Amino acid sequence: MKNDLTCEVVQDLLPSYVDGLTSDVSNQAVEQHMKTCESCRKLYSEMREPMNGEDVSEINDGQKADSKKSSEIDYLKKIRKKNRMRILAAVLIVVIAVGVGLWSKVYVVGQEVEQAEFVQANVAVEDHKVSVQGLLLDTTKGVSDVAFQEKDGIVTVSLRETRKSSFHTNEFQADYQSAEDVKQVVLENRILWDDGVSIDGTVSDLYQSRNPYVGDTSADGRSVQAARAVLGINDGALISYGTQLQTSEEPYGWTFLNVQISSSDNVERLHQEMKQLGCLLIAVTDNLGYVSFEYSVDGAENADGNTTLTVTEADVDAMAGQSVKAMAQTPEGLQQLVDLIK
């Protein structure tokens, strides 16, 4: 292999070669040259020795035999040290940049809020002006930005959250001027305002749990959970130990079995909650005609077994003065139904 490198070129490359910074092609050329050049080989060997100081006066007498050569070695070692310092500086800059980026993401930029149930918000709409104010329920978080999007009369509000700081608190307030008439205001996956009516977050969840057919286990479970949240029924109340569906003929029914009630509870209030829960389930389940609760107080049964409380579609329609299923077709109508039964 022909090698056209001169000693001067090789000596210029040696600091980078020693630190592994040269390319494969340059490495091969330097190594080929050193095979035939004792002077450059010796210089390479001396450059690889540990650097205990850069002052030529500290090198022992045997190493200073050739002052010109020692000066060259000293110069090349300094270049090598500078290369190392440049690498360390570059690494330090990267580390600082990553740290600043992470700090900015946590405390300045933040991330989009995806769970609207952790946000309490109120909406007011006047003409084309939408005003939103509220707070994050997690007091360790702050709101860094409130953004609006508009399409077909639906205004969608998006929040970005950061760690709470002097820059961002958990409270927020923002206004938006719409280009057309506002029909609905939505925060992430929750409807906050619909056709002139403010919608409670739990009512929005119930509206979105609407189910065409009783018997879809997962859909039924979402409706029950959402209805309980709307009514504020705590996790320890009206617990059912089994359910039974009647789907062989209309009206289709849904029975909650073995509901246990303690006499120390307000039994009359629990009766009312059963009726309210039945009403909401009938409203959001299209083909459901009645809901029954088989219950006992302190585990006691009457002569005919557990006591049964049944709510029918006709009962709740009479109470509402209109079809509850029709009311549940819009968030505004469902909110009115909830306000009525509560």
Please give the pLDDT value at position 213: 94
Domain boundaries, the chain: 7-106, 112-198, 204-341
Please give the pLDDT value at position 67: 53
Tell me what percent of the residues of the chain surpass a pLDDT of 90. 52
pLDDT band for position 90 (cuts 50, 70, 90):
confident
Please give the pLDDT value at position 55: 44
Please give the pLDDT value at position 58: 43
What mean pLDDT, rounded, does the chain reach? 86
Kindly report the backbone phi and psi dihedral angles of residue 25, in degrees, each rounded to the nearest multiple of 5, phi listed first.
-65, -45
pLDDT digits (tens, 9 = 90+) for 49-87: 765 544 434 434 444 445 555 666 666 667 777 778 888
The number of residues making up the chain comes to: 342
pLDDT digits (tens, 9 = 90+) for 7-58: 888 888 888 888 888 888 888 888 888 888 988 888 888 888 765 544 434 4
Judge whether 111 and 142 are in contact, CB under 8 Å. Answer: no
Look at the alpha carbons of 291, 295, 297, 303 in this order and tell me if their dihedral is positive or negative. Answer: positive
pLDDT band for position 330 (cuts 50, 70, 90):
very high
- Residue 276's nearest CA partner among 311, 242, 251, 322 is 311
